[in-house]
Structure 1
Amino acid sequence: MSYLQLDLQYFSQEKTEQATPKKRRESRTKGQVAKSGDVNTAIILLLVFLFLWMIGPYMFDIMLKIYIISFRDFIHYDVTTENTQQVMSSLSIQAAQIVAPILLVAMVSGVAANYLQIGFLFSTDPLLMKLERINPLQGFKRIYSMRAIVELIKSILKISLVGFVTFLVLWMNREKLILLSHATVEQALMIIGKLTIQMGLAASVLLIFLAILDYMYQKFDFEKSIRMSKQDLKDEYKKMEGDPLIKSRIKEKQRQMAMQRMMQEVPKADVIITNPTHYAIALKYDDDKMDAPIVVAKGVDYIALKIREIAKHNDIFTIENRPLARSLYDQTEIGDMVPESLFKAVAEVLAYVYRLKKLV
């Protein structure tokens, strides 16, 4: 019987997990968001053609004015530098009156479309120079990737459907187009303008529908691209919580510093109560500042030995009281006042110590 060996590490690298909030924030900071360019195009076209529909009469009047002035006045001007400048200046101002509002609506529409999709986002990361962008191999992969195939299908679909819709609008108005040659200039401009707006609005509505589908696909593709492997989740957790080895070293350093501060308080104690070897508790009492004695240091075994050594070096009285030492160790922490239940026993010890100090 033969056995197939599997490398479990390979499975841990598969990106099957949903992205964490931290991963999403990092992706957004880099400008990586779910966004569809078709949404921008569809909204801009729809709003621009709606705007054209509303200000059509205004634009028609200006265009007719340009037509009349050109063939009534400008055509009789002599070709001189001064006349050319006057004609160009006049036509530029009138053309700007038509084009400027449309450009403004298009700009506002583009900003609004982006804001609807991703909110406010400013990132310079996509503008940075990256060598992989000019890597031929990476470029070949992008060209022949599944995403490129999807984009190709989308483009063909959009061109086909938009072409069909515009053709349908023209076909429904074919009688007007046939009689266009018999219409006056004013009538021809009105007919062409109306047909243009009808085709634009019809194509825009169709593109809105396609843009919704594309946004859903872009959302799905984005979620897939930022998926994380189980190892990625572990690494992120380590970064957020800190490496266990480093954390243990920090805690050890903190314990050492706390121990050092505690040992510095031992010389200020009034008495050390011991077990006699396993426990040691250092007590301090100031009648003017404290309501009850406080524990300034405590420890067992090695720490208790260090407390006794410091106390001996600083001539601090050491009293052996096994039950009291054990009770104080179990019921108090460093900086705590002595519990009320132990007041009497501690008071007797302190009174004994004070008497010894007087004798000394």
Structure 2
Amino acid sequence: MADSAQDKHLPPTERRLQKAREDGQVARSRDLAHFAVVAAGLALVMFAAPSLTQWLRDLMATGLRFDVRMVTSPQMMGERLSQLMYPALALCLGLGVVTGLVAMAAAVVSGGWVWTFKPLMPDFSKLNPLTGLGRIVSKAQIGDMLKACLLALILASVGAAYLWAHLNDFALTQSMPLPAAFIAATDRISTGLWLLMIVLAASAMVDVPLQRFMHRNRLKMSHQDMKEEFKQQEGNQEVKGKMKQRMREGSRRRMLAAVPEADLVVMNPTHYAVALKYDDASMGAPRIVAMGADLLALKIRDVAKESKVPVLQSPPLARALYAHGELDREIPLALYSAVAQVLAHVFQLRAALAGRAAWPSDLPPIPVPPELDPHNTARPTEDKA
């Protein structure tokens, strides 16, 4: 059963946030973009105010200068209109490019840089009118609409209050000479824009963290989502368990295949079994080629007997080798003396059986350091293969 929206109360993981970013879903603040555009436009106007005032005055003077020939010739009026339109178009185009770049920079600041074409891919599910209606009347859309209406109301109130307070000043510009009227109007408009920019700055300061909070809130996860993500990252646990079981089985087969090549198997007498091999030409010390506990120990013993590998019952040594030794590694240094005595006895037995030496005496007790014998500790029940 699908989780309802009420079940999604867990914060989104880093993986979910990264996947949403790859899909083009990031927190964007429109109020920050509005503030940046107005601030950049105001800064540009203030920086270029003298030159802009002179340019507008010259443009207006040129536009109002005409003679009878221009009035009576529609073609010349069209040429004059083109001459006046191109500078104005260049000014608007330059201002549009600057404000566009500023808006892009504000978007990057609020949500970071995201390079993806996924939002541009066709999504036919959006053509469903019921789904579209659900998006329109959603809480997020209603909240954005109310926030935009509130901001528009505040901006309109501030602008209306400013115009009402300076209505006489704007009216006096009609009686001023044209250069002075331009300067006065520029000052009044700049001051009004400053007030609007303050309102937009306050709105952006609230909207940026609000959009981030809403973005994370939309990406909240349920317990089922967490489980699915964990499965995707870690893999299916049943499959991993089967793979580990196959790896253990393969390791056991390889280990049992190495038992016939061993020189000796030390047992305890049924709980642990450790197969040792030593070649003085290629090894610096005896190496453990197989080891196991319980059923695996019995299997190692059976393979050793079938392969006529000597099996020695030495519980302390078997326990110490199993507890402190590692498969396919040399025996611990502290057990060199004990293993050397055992291997020497085995080699003497082989020589006696081959008629190359006298029959050796019984093997004396094997000295094993007490700290290496885990006899008093919990007995391992899992084989270390």
Q: CA deviation at 1:208?
A: 1.9
Q: Does 1:344 align with 2:345?
A: no
Q: CA deviation at 1:43?
A: 1.5
**C-alpha separation in 2, matches of 1:328 and 1:212:** 68
Matches within 5 A, 1:238-277: 238-277=231-270
Q: What residue in structure 1 maps to residue 14 of structure 2?
A: 21
Q: Does 1:122 align with 2:110?
A: no
Q: Does 1:39 align with 2:38?
A: no
CA displacement, residues 68-117 of structure 1 (integer Å, 9 cap, x when unaligned): 334447985695979966973x5455335533442233123112211221
Give the counterpart of 1:197 among 190, 208, 214: 190
Q: What residue in structure 1 maps to residue 321 of structure 2?
A: 328
Deviates more, 1:202-211 or 1:91-100: 91-100
What is the total number of aligned residue pairs between the two structures? Answer: 352
Give the counterpart of 1:187 among 180, 189, 192: 180
Tell me, what secondary structure is at the counterpart of 1:286? coil
Q: What residue in structure 1 maps to residue 217 of structure 2?
A: 224
**C-alpha separation in 2, matches of 1:219 and 1:74:** 62
**C-alpha separation in 1, matches of 2:320 and 2:341:** 15
Q: What residue in structure 1 maps to residue 358 of structure 2?
A: none
Superposition TM-score, scaled by structure 1 size: 0.84
**C-alpha separation in 1, matches of 2:67 and 2:239:** 84
Cα RMSD after superposing both structures: 3.2
Q: What residue in structure 2 maps to residue 4 of structure 1?
A: none
* Residue 10 to residue 111, structure 1, CA distance change in 2 (3 Å): closer
Q: What residue in structure 1 maps to residue 292 of structure 2?
A: 299
Q: Alignment identity in percent? A: 29
Task: Tell me which amino acid in the other structure corresponds to 2:48.
Answer: I
Q: What residue in structure 2 maps to residue 209 of structure 1?
A: 202
* Residue 74 to residue 247, structure 1, CA distance change in 2 (3 Å): farther
Give the counterpart of 2:96 among 78, 93, 103: 103
Deviates more, 1:75-84 or 1:15-24: 75-84
Q: What residue in structure 1 maps to residue 375 of structure 2?
A: none
Give the counterpart of 1:148 among 141, 149, 165: 141
Tell me, what secondary structure is at the counterpart of 1:255? helix
* Residue 282 to residue 243, structure 1, CA distance change in 2 (3 Å): same
Task: Tell me which amino acid in the other structure corresponds to 1:225.
Answer: R
* Residue 72 to residue 312, structure 1, CA distance change in 2 (3 Å): same
Task: Tell me which amino acid in the other structure corresponds to 1:109.
Answer: V
* Residue 228 to residue 85, structure 1, CA distance change in 2 (3 Å): same
Q: Does 1:50 align with 2:43?
A: yes
**C-alpha separation in 2, matches of 1:12 and 1:163:** 37
Task: Tell me which amino acid in the other structure corresponds to 2:346.
Answer: V
**C-alpha separation in 2, matches of 1:161 and 1:233:** 43
Unaligned runs of 5+ in 1: 1-6
- Equivalent pair of 1:12/1:230 in contact (CA under 8 Å): no
**C-alpha separation in 1, matches of 2:125 and 2:85:** 45
- Equivalent pair of 2:10/2:223 in contact (CA under 8 Å): yes
Deviates more, 1:10-19 or 1:156-165: 10-19
